[in-house]
A = this chain, B = another copy of it.
Amino acid sequence: MPALTNTKSIDCASDPYTWEGLTGWKSYRTLRPFRGMYWDVRRRAPWYWSDIRDGLNYRTFVGTVRIFFINLLPAIAFQLDMTRGTHGYFGINEALFSSALAALVFSTMSCQPLTVVGITGFISLFNYTVYAITEQCGIVELYPQFIAWVSIWAAATHWLTAICNWCDYMRYITDFSSNAFGFYVGVIYMVKGFQEMTALYVESTPEAGLMGAIIAICYFLSIILLESVASTICFTPGIRKFLSDYAYVIATIWWTSLSHFPSHIYDSGILRVPYTPAFYPTIDRRPWLVDFWTLPVKWVFVALPIGILLTLLFYYDHNLSSLTAQAKQFPLKKLAGLHWDFFLLGCTCFIGGIVRIPLPNGLVPQALVYTDSLTEYKDTLHKSKEQDIEPASDKCVHHNRKVVCATLVREQRISHFLMALALIGFMTGPLLDVLHTIPRALFAGVFWAVGWSGLVAMNSTQNLCFLLSERKYADPADPQLGVSKGGILYYVFYQMLGVGFSLGVSFTRAAIGFPVIIISLIPLRWILLPRIFTEHELLVLDAPTADAGVVLASMGGRPTLPEVRMMEEKRSQQDGNGEMGEGSGSGSSSENAQGMRSRDGFKDEGEKELERERSEEQTRLGVPSTLRTGHG
């Protein structure tokens, strides 16, 4: 295994965990339990020592500080939301406990220490929707027991999923659904920001509410500004990196300090994070353990479908977080293990359920940020010359350009573990007092900042921006030019359909069912889209979300995309007929066929080779995520 460390890109095809070439009962994933988990551990175990050793560098510190802030702040933000929605059943201490538990378990025992597990908006949405349902059913006093059983069922189905190797199916997820999901999450975050802001207005005086709104707006703008410094050529590389690495820290300290400014600002009486006694559950000093065994059997079974829905949500959300944290744009060397981690997630669900804390799962928008903060980037100077073609000119203009390259990711467990310790630290009295100094309004800003950075990264947003811009000024190398405006619009339309429906149900009792909508985008992509779009169009517009070799190894290798299979079939038919044929009759389709023919040289080497080539082409065509350029 360590031989792989030196290869530039990890090749999942050589991994022993594969289902290809298997026949009979051996090819059924469900019939061979624990196979994925076994290989996950075997694959990752050799790296364990290096996960600790590699933690001894500056990036670990940056990673710890950054992830601590962007894990803790939204967790508290969602907690405030959840407290409102469940009449105080969940509080700050529960949020800290949950985050700390997850961080401890996943930093020490997971196969993917880069995946950060914490409190998401969905568990908040989920908890208060279930609360509303129990209220409607008149069993609101049984809510703790009921939600405990939901969690127990969820834990059981998590374990089942992990044991039966079902996490393999994550490899079929493409940007079509994952970016629609990301877009939906971004919108939810933005909306939550406004909800938090208006809640403050209602819960305190209008003066305090408006002062809070100003702080929230300024906080949001500061984060955007500080993070954008990295892509400029201002200051020195060190200062640029410092400002963007610690954007949340700087903004949080600055605006919290300012909110304590004497006179008008302090006197406005803005609300702050509530005080809670250290280590105790937030309300009524109950014991941590819930007496879940007292729930009537009838309700235990009502909890089952809800538990399954929760598993469905976590299956998608948590694994997507893992994929994002280990995306292809990062030069990762250590292999992933989705099955084992999902089993662990089942364990935290179980523990979380019986002590009644919000269940933690993988954070999606934060995943990218955390791995990014552990990545060593290098600014290099690229010189180029530019010559006008139209209007023609002999004069050459020279450019200096800053090109940022990701050279190395500090893959380790230390920063994750340190974050866990910091979270436990914040459960103690003195640090809870520190939390209390933060104005609640700041969390509206946190929602906006996290939501905004998620939204702009989604392909839906980028496609919409492309549609809004004048095509003639687009970069000639832009692959989107290969697709008609209508085609892009059509693709985005289907995504927005999913987003729209999900948003629609989010604000109703049916909210817990929203994972079904997002997941239904996957078959839509696999069955309907290849029939609407040509292979080339899908190559430009869509890509498998699980694109890095390190994660594909844990999922049994790279799947064949349906449009590729369809083209293959068509081609072999044509080869059989010995003639060109009309294809689907459209010009772009025959152009595609030609594109395919030019690849014929590789055909003997089998389908696998073709897939690899396709993946390379995608890298070339796709947004070069590892290269962030700033014009000099």
- State which residues 394-411 of A face B: CB under 8 Å: 397-402
Nearest Cβ in chain B — how far from A111, in angstroms?
37
The interface residues of chain A, by DSSP majority, are classed as mixed
Q: How many residues of A contact B (CB 8 A)?
A: 47
A475 contacts B by Cβ under 8 Å: yes
Q: Give chain B residues whose Cβ lies under 8 Å from the Cβ of A268.
A: 206, 210
CA distance A399 to B401 in the complex (A): 15
A87 contacts B by Cβ under 8 Å: no
CA distance A386 to B383 in the complex (A): 10
Q: CB distance A399 to B475 under 8 Å?
A: yes
Flag the segment in A134-142, A230-238, A355-363 that touches B.
A230-238
Q: CB distance A473 to B381 under 8 Å?
A: yes
Q: In the complex, what residue of chain B is closest to A217 when comparing beta carbons?
A: B217
With A210-B207, A388-B383, A390-B383: A474-B399 Cβ-Cβ less than 8 Å: no
Q: CB distance B400 to A389 under 8 Å?
A: no
CA distance A20 to B74 in the complex (A): 73
Flag the segment in A53-61, A151-159, A313-321, A464-472 that touches B.
A464-472
A598 contacts B by Cβ under 8 Å: no
Q: In the complex, what residue of chain B is closest to A632 when comparing beta carbons?
A: B473
- State which residues 215-237 of A face B: CB under 8 Å: 217, 232-237
A285 contacts B by Cβ under 8 Å: no
Q: Give chain B residues whose Cβ lies under 8 Å from the Cβ of A475.
A: 398-400, 632
Q: CB distance B211 to A398 under 8 Å?
A: no
Q: Give chain B residues whose Cβ lies under 8 Å from the Cβ of A201.
A: 264
Q: CB distance B389 to A477 under 8 Å?
A: no
A385 contacts B by Cβ under 8 Å: yes
Give per-residue flags for A94-107: 1 if the beta carbon is below 8 A from chain B beta carbons, else 0: 00000000000000
Residue among A386, A387, A630 with most chain B CB within 10 A: A386
CA distance A402 to B235 in the complex (A): 29
A213 contacts B by Cβ under 8 Å: yes
Q: Give chain B residues whose Cβ lies under 8 Å from the Cβ of A233.
A: 469-470, 473-474
Q: Give chain B residues whose Cβ lies under 8 Å from the Cβ of A381.
A: 390, 472-473
CA distance A632 to B473 in the complex (A): 5
Q: Which residue in B384, B473, B630 is a CB contact (below 8 Å) of A389?
A: B384
CA distance A383 to B389 in the complex (A): 5
Residue among A384, A387, A469 with most chain B CB within 10 A: A384
A109 contacts B by Cβ under 8 Å: no
Q: CB distance B477 to A398 under 8 Å?
A: yes
Q: Give chain B residues whose Cβ lies under 8 Å from the Cβ of A232.
A: 469
A382 contacts B by Cβ under 8 Å: yes
A486 contacts B by Cβ under 8 Å: no
Nearest Cβ in chain B — how far from A193, in angstroms?
14
Give per-residue flags for A444-475: 1 if the beta carbon is below 8 A from chain B beta carbons, else 0: 00000000000000000000010011101111
Nearest Cβ in chain B — how far from A566, in angstroms?
32
On A, residues with C-beta under 8 Å from B are 201, 205-207, 210-211, 213-214, 217, 232-237, 264, 268, 381-391, 397-402, 465, 468-470, 472-477, 630-632
Q: A205-B207, A473-B630 are in contact. List 6 more A-B contacts (CB 8 A).
A: A233-B473, A384-B386, A384-B388, A397-B477, A402-B470, A473-B632
| A-B pairs, 6 with minimum CB distance | A473-B632, A210-B210, A383-B390, A233-B473, A398-B476, A386-B386
